[in-house]
Structure formats: C-alpha cells, structure tokens
Amino acid sequence: MRIAFPYMGETTYIDGVPVWVCNKCAEQYFDGPVYERLEAIAKRRNSLRKTITFPLGRYTAAAHINRPA
Ligand SMILES: [Zn+2]
C-alpha cells in the first residue's frame, strides 16, 4: 500500500510498502527490514530535494480528461 513516511521533518510518499495495520487504532507497523528500507528511500529523497515531484495518481487520472479547446 502507499504510505506517508515522515523522516527528518519531511514526508515521503512510498508505494508498494508491505505494512501491517492495527485493526483497533489503524496505526501502521513495519517489519524491521522494511523500516530500514523506507529510511534509505527517505534519505535518498533528501539528497534529491531540488527534484520537482507531483502526485502521480492525480496526473494519471487527469490524462484521461479531454482538455478544453
Ligand atoms: Zn492499535
């Protein structure tokens, strides 16, 4: 699933994360190796902070809408 991963004051959105969700409070849990990998991804994001990003999901959806002439 897609998760919002807060790290060093910034949030990185990461797709395809194997995550456990508590069915009482909806809190997300990661296995240790998964968490380490998320951290590595978030660190890489910080080194690329000048890269312009946008929500891929919305962009894909918008591609199916005809532009006004
Ligand atoms: Zn819980």
Mean pLDDT of the residues in the chain: 75
Neighbours of ion ligand 1 (CB under 5 A): 22, 24-25, 27
DSSP string, 1-49: --EEEEETTEEEEESS---EE-TTT--EE--HHHHHHHHHHHHHHHHTT
Number of CB atoms found within 10 A of residue 12's CB: 19
Percent residues over pLDDT 90 in the chain = 12
Question: Tokens at residue 33, please?
Answer: 């190796």
Cα of 27 from ligand 1 centre, angstroms? 6
Quick: pLDDT tens for 21-51.
889 998 888 899 999 998 988 888 766 555 5
The predicted model scores a pTM of 0.56
Cα–ligand 1 centroid distance for 9 (angstroms): 24
CA dihedral 30, 34, 37, 41 (to 10 degrees): -50
Facing residues of 46 across strands?
A: none
